[in-house]
């Protein structure tokens, strides 16, 4: 039952504005300092991603953790885990084939890559906007929220799977790509299921291309800073 400006059952405001870029920027600093009790509900949402995301967009937000903070916490957990337990020691055997310069570049890229990943969520939203804007009815800011949920859930899956000793033929990165694909396919809807999964596959493919492009740019920048003679020798 709705009483005045609030729902008498959950306390949610009855007048909830649509998510916009302005709202995203407003929510970002708040998500860094306000902790609610909904993070377990956010994690549980992985079992029904469509209902979770679309319910959040429709205004049922009071019981959910901030998507920004959810993403920040799960990403931080992944970064801390990989810092204290490097993935090479868990998943792969180290390969001693790189030169000293290549190792230095790789170390710097790995260090900055973590921060780029946090900011790239805005860029990663572009493929889903392009492929599912009509079916979802979401604007760009709302697609950012979708990706925050999907990446947060993928981080949770990562934290569970990292304990499993995958080999080089079937690394954990492949598992993560498949998990993200499934999450997108279950989050969005399309009259044609085949088209829906093809679009979900395209999202993951385009995001992977964006990821590689960002890393190439990062490698060039780091190489130019550390070894400018290699970039400008011609």
Query: Exposure of 6 by Cβ count < 10 A (0-12 exposed, 13-18 middle, 19+ buried)?
Result: middle
Q: Is 28 within the bounds of a domain? A: yes
Contacts of 40 (CB under 8 A, 6+ apart): none
| SS3 label, residue 85 | coil
Cα 78 → chain centroid: 12
Q: Indicate whether 94 pLDDT > 50.
A: no
Which pLDDT band holds residue 92 (cuts at 50, 70, 90)?
very low
Predicted local confidence at residue 97, as pLDDT: 53
- Residues 113 and 105: their CA atoms lie apart, in Å, by 12
Q: Is 24 within the bounds of a domain? A: yes
Predicted local confidence at residue 95, as pLDDT: 46
pLDDT averaged over every residue in the chain:
78
Give CA angle at 201 (136, 185), nearest 5°: 45
- Structural domain including 51 reads 20-232
Q: Is 12 within the bounds of a domain? A: no
Under DSSP, the state recorded for 98 is: S
Q: Indicate whether 120 pLDDT > 70.
A: yes
Q: Is 72 within the bounds of a domain? A: yes
Phi, psi (deg, nearest 5) at residue 52: -65, -50
pLDDT one-digit tens code per residue, 178-206: 999 999 999 998 889 999 999 999 999 99
Output 218 or 89, whichever has higher pLDDT. Answer: 218
Predicted local confidence at residue 38, as pLDDT: 66
Q: Tell me the C-alpha to C-alpha distance, in Å, between residue 24 and each of 65, 134, 138.
A: 14, 21, 14
* Alpha helix (H) residue ranges in 45-171: 49-57, 67-84, 87-90, 100-119, 121-136, 140-161
Q: Is 135 within the bounds of a domain? A: yes
Q: Indicate whether 101 pLDDT > 50.
A: yes
Q: Give which of 51, 31, 39, 53 is closest to 145, Cα–Cα.
A: 53
- Specify the DSSP element, H or E, that contains 224: helix 193-226
Instruction: Give mean pLDDT, residues 76-104.
Output: 63
Phi, psi (deg, nearest 5) at residue 2: -100, 125
- Residues 230 and 222: their CA atoms lie apart, in Å, by 11
Which pLDDT band holds residue 135 (cuts at 50, 70, 90)?
confident
Handedness of CA 173, 50, 128, 191 (dihedral sign): positive
pLDDT one-digit tens code per residue, 31-77: 555 544 568 888 989 999 999 999 999 888 877 888 988 999 998 88
Predicted local confidence at residue 86, as pLDDT: 66
pLDDT one-digit tens code per residue, 161-185: 876 765 555 567 788 889 999 999 9
Least confident of 14-18, 23-27, 147-151, 155-159: 14-18
- Residues 8 and 15: their CA atoms lie apart, in Å, by 14
Q: Indicate whether 223 pLDDT > 80.
A: no
> CB-hemisphere CA count at 13 Å for 67?
25
Q: Is 167 within the bounds of a domain? A: yes
Q: Is 10 within the bounds of a domain? A: no
Q: What domain count does the chain have?
A: 1
Q: Is 53 within the bounds of a domain? A: yes
Q: Indicate whether 103 pLDDT > 80.
A: no
Q: Indicate whether 138 pLDDT > 70.
A: yes
């Amino acid at each position: 039952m709705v009483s005045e400006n609030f729902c008498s059952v959950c306390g949610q405001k009855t007048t909830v504005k649509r998510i916009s870029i302005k709202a995203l920027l407003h929510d970002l600093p708040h998500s860094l300092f306000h902790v609610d009790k909904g993070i377990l509900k956010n994690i549980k949402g992985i079992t029904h991603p469509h209902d979770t995301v679309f319910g959040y967009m429709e205004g049922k937000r009071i019981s959910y953790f901030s998507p920004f903070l959810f993403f920040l916490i799960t990403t931080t957990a992944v970064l801390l885990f990989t810092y204290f337990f490097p993935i090479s020691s868990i998943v792969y055997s180290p390969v001693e084939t790189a030169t000293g310069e290549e190792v230095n570049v790789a170390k710097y890229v790995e260090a900055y890559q973590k921060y780029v990943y946090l900011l790239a969520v805005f860029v990663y939203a572009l493929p889903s906007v392009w492929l599912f804007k009509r079916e979802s009815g979401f604007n760009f800011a709302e697609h950012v929220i979708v990706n925050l949920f999907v990446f947060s859930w993928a981080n949770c899956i990562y934290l569970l799977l990292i304990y499993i000793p995958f080999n080089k033929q079937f690394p954990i990165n492949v598992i993560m790509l498949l998990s993200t694909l499934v999450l997108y396919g279950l989050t969005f809807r399309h009259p044609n299921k085949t088209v829906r999964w093809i679009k979900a596959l395209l999202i993951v493919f385009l995001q992977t291309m964006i990821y590689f492009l960002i890393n190439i740019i990062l490698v060039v920048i780091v190489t130019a800073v550390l070894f400018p003679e290699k970039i400008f020798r011609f």
